[in-house]
Amino acid sequence: MEKLTNKEVSKLLAEFGDLLAINGENEFKIRAYNNAARKIQSLEANLSELIKEDSLEDIKGIGKGIAGTIKEIFENGFSQEMEELKRELPSGVLEMTKIPNLGPKRAHQLYYELGLKSVAELREALENNKVRELKGFGPKSEQKLLKGLQNYKKYVDRIIISQAVEEADKLINALKNSVEEGIIKNIEVCGSTRRRKEMIGDIDILVACAAEDKESLSKKITELELTDEIIGAGDKKVSIITCDGLQVDFRLVSSEEFPSALHYFTGSQAHNVRMRQLAKDHNLKLNEYGLIKNDDSRIDIKSEEDIFVHLGLKYIIPELREDSGEIEAAAEDRLPVSIEVSDIKGDLHMHSRYSDGAFTIEEMGEAARKRGYSYIAITDHSKSLKVANGMSVERLKKQLQEIDEVNKKMDGFRILKGIEVDIMPDGSLDFEDEILSELDLVIASVHSSFAMTEEEMTARIIKAVKNTEVNILAHPRGRILGGRAAYKVDMNQVIEAALESNTALEINSSPHRLDLDDKWSRRAKEAGALLTINTDAHHYREFNDIKYGVSVARRGWLEKDDVINTFDLDKLMKFLRED
């Protein structure tokens, strides 16, 4: 049977939790399942390995019961208890809980008191005013649910991080422009956007202002041109849906509360739960308004960092706040010294007009030099990638001459001769080794025949990685966010091969790829492999995407020395010349 992925198991556990909730089970039991689902989702190791080692119960939050359920799901593809629950509850009831403002309790009521088994039946009951007769429902609930029913599928599911950052900037500027200067004391995007997750579900914006301005500011938010629908609006919290179908939550606090609100609102939820427990252990209470002692007096908090310090921790950057070991590491002073954009000395993956780029070699070089880089590599596509105007041997040789010419004009800056060579289905490369050996740097990547078995694809990629001419494996898993799933490949084996053959694994900074992702980057580092963060730019504007790649690296616990393009030119060349 096909192995289930961590993600699929996580989804099943969460679904189990939802089913239990609809059935009115103990809320802490439900929480345990949801907690376990989150743990599995953010797990680095592969579940099948943990099952083999019988070490599931080592994960905090997973005990005998849930470990048993996971094993059962793995062996049989389903859990007996879950199937029984599903038999009791039609799938439409679970679907109902996806409608805004309709949770498990009310779904339970609708099913057991009105016998509603599907979203369609719910709609009919709402239209016939049947629902308002239930206890706890009324005419307003009826209207809200009808509206939610229209929209619940229309809303955007998730957007990529770059879109979220742009959208947040737009909203922040729009709000700033709608009020007098000085009203907004501080404003910051929080949530998963601040943690720089690769995909974002909704946007959270924190605003500091004076108490007397809260009401008018709340009103301003609901009146923004970008606001399509108001979900809720109080003087502390406003939730809207934008014209693009994106949910945005605003929180309004005082300047004094801003640091603790910033921490709270940045999350992740799992990180916050741990931090609040930790506060409790210190006989304190942590919430969005501050760190509060038992006698209700506040501890003076000037910055987010102060919160960590008061709880005996080193400062944890937002990218690491996922409850994946950062709190323990902060307590023991072994957090990584996270890599920063300013550590990057050059970009080793980009395209010029020789293939599918928009600019000449000189234009790309000049733009990179202006950015403050000390080197770049021009890495156009090889011949078989016809859709991207892949180069023949002759054009490659012409390009090498041109790079020599341009380098003569560049002072204190170097353009490396590179190529992005296709990995053919049999694992061979699209150019002979003899030609590749003339280059400073060879990137290998897969652009065709994605639908191979895991064994075939793994063998294909490992063969390329082990070729001594290859220095970098680009976008190793081939995924396009929101577009194409990663091809099937055993990354653990690829990482081992990269380590043995001194090949760097790329974090491709294109916000559509972000490949490797945070988890695999962390895994690669732990295995001792080296990485490289590049933009794959086809336009020099895309050099700016490097920040997204660096965010992935930060989320993956990477430090400067794990990434070859933080090296100065001499050290980099030494790495490239080693086999």
Partner DNA sequence: GCCGTTTTCGGCCCGACTGTTTTCAGTCG
The residues of the shown chain that bind DNA, judged by CB under 7 A, are 26, 28-29, 31-33, 36, 57, 59-67, 97, 99-107, 132, 135-142, 144, 191, 202, 204, 232-237, 247, 249, 269, 272-273, 276-277, 280, 285-289
Residue closer to DNA, measured from CB, 56 or 161: 56
CB of 171 to DNA, least distance (A): 16
In the complex, what is the shortest distance from the CB of residue 264 to DNA, in angstroms, rounded to a whole number? 8
DSSP-derived 3-state class of residue 484? strand
Query: In the complex, what is the shortest distance from the CB of residue 534 to DNA, in angstroms, rounded to a whole number?
Result: 33
Q: Which is nearer to DNA, 250 or 373 (CB)?
A: 250
> Which residue, 66 or 419, has its beta carbon nearer to DNA?
66
Q: Are 330 and 305 in contact (CB under 8 A)?
A: no
Smallest separation, CB 527 to DNA (Å): 27
Angle at 91 between CA 89 and CA 96, to 5 degrees: 100
Least separation in angstroms between CB 85 and DNA:
12
List the beta bridge partners of residue 184: 209
Q: Cα–Cα distance between 442 and 340 in angstroms, integer? A: 25
Instruction: Name the residue nearer to DNA (CB basis): 284 or 550.
Output: 284
Q: Residue 67 or residue 516: which is nearer to DNA going by CB?
A: 67
Minimum CB separation of residue 288 from DNA in Å reads 6
> How far is it, in rounded angstroms, from Cα 66 to Cα 361?
57
In b/e form, how buried is each residue of 501-538, taking b as 16+ CB within 10 angstroms? Answer: bbbbbbbbbbbbbbbbbbbbbbbbbeeebbbbbbbbbb
- Closest to DNA by CB, 273 or 486: 273
Tell the burial category of 28 from Cβ atoms under 10 Å away from its Cβ (0-12, 13-18, 19+): exposed
CA distances from 86 to 71, 95, 164, 469 (A): 19, 12, 36, 55
- 55 vs 269, which CB is nearer to DNA? 269
In angstroms, give the least distance from the CB of 274 to DNA: 9
CB nearer to DNA: pick between 26 and 437: 26
Is-contact 131 114, C-beta < 8 A?
yes
Least Å distance, CB 466 to DNA, is 41
Cα–Cα distance measured from residue 575 to residue 491, given in angstroms and rounded to the nearest whole number: 23
Q: Considering the complex, what minimum distance in angstroms separates the CB of residue 10 from DNA?
A: 15
- Nearer Cβ to DNA (3/60): 60
Q: Which residues contact 249 (CB under 8 A, 6 or more apart)?
A: 191, 202, 203, 204, 205, 237, 238, 239
CB atoms within 10 A of CB 311: 19
Query: Which helix H or strand E contains 286, and what residues bound it?
Result: strand 284-287
* Position 240, amino acid: I
